[in-house]
Amino acid sequence: MTDAVLAQGLPGIVDDWSADKQTFQVHWGKAMMWIFLLSDTFIFSCFVTSYMSVRSATTVPWPDPSEVFALTIFGQHMPLILIAIMTFILISSSGTMAMAVNFGYRKDRKTTALLMLATAAFGATFVSMQVFEWSKLIAEGVRPWSNPMGAPQFGACFFMITGFHGAHVSIGVIYLLTVAFKVWRGDFEKSGSYVSVEIAGLYWHFVDLVWVFIFALFYLW
């Protein structure tokens, strides 16, 4: 292939990838979201693997999560009650998001927007409960560099992993609200495609899936 032919082909590649077309037989927006989620998977995997390595290597007793994250409600000691509620809320949000995608492809604009708003509300509630969880541990003296309950690495692992995930949820809430506003305004009625709702759903389901691993490895181990 000559340089002249190659030069003519490169602008065509740019035009194809920057236009609202198909890439690898998949909508370009979905393809880019999958690539982003794959890169994010590597980051979360590094965090979780590091946590498992640190916990296995430490010689200082690791705090018992069922006691650290316990709450006393009406005089009753309830281990992991807050975490269980947070998990239920986030998993429920996957259900409302899936229904939003379904109604989006039915072109039911109002129902789609309302379900996305419900999903965002679930996400905001989750983050609010996480803020309470952080405040409780900080008040008890847990810091990224120290921990009065046992291994000092506990604080660093907890704030790093849950903080990074919480940031994803917070960004996701803003993302969902933005897309829901566009749905309500009828932007996708004009284009005739609700694929942006599905792309937002891919991000949200990923955030929920990551929490399942964090819940299992950090709170139940």
Q: What is the pLDDT of residues 31-69, one digit of tens each?
A: 889 999 999 999 999 999 999 999 999 889 999 988 889
Task: DSSP for 154-216, please give it.
Answer: HHHHHHHHHHHHHHHHHHHHHHHHHHHHHHHHTHHHHHT--HHHHHHHHHHHHHHHHHHHHII
| Statement: residue 9 has pLDDT above 70 | no
Domains in the chain: ranges and CATH: 27-219 (1.20.120.80)
pTM of the model: 0.86
Q: What is the pLDDT of residues 113-138, one digit of tens each?
A: 999 999 999 999 999 999 999 999 99
Eight-class DSSP state of 27:
E
**Looking at residue 18, what is its pLDDT?**
59
**Looking at residue 20, what is its pLDDT?**
54
Q: What is the pLDDT of residues 75-125, one digit of tens each?
A: 888 888 999 999 999 999 999 999 999 999 999 999 999 999 999 999 999
**Looking at residue 29, what is its pLDDT?**
82
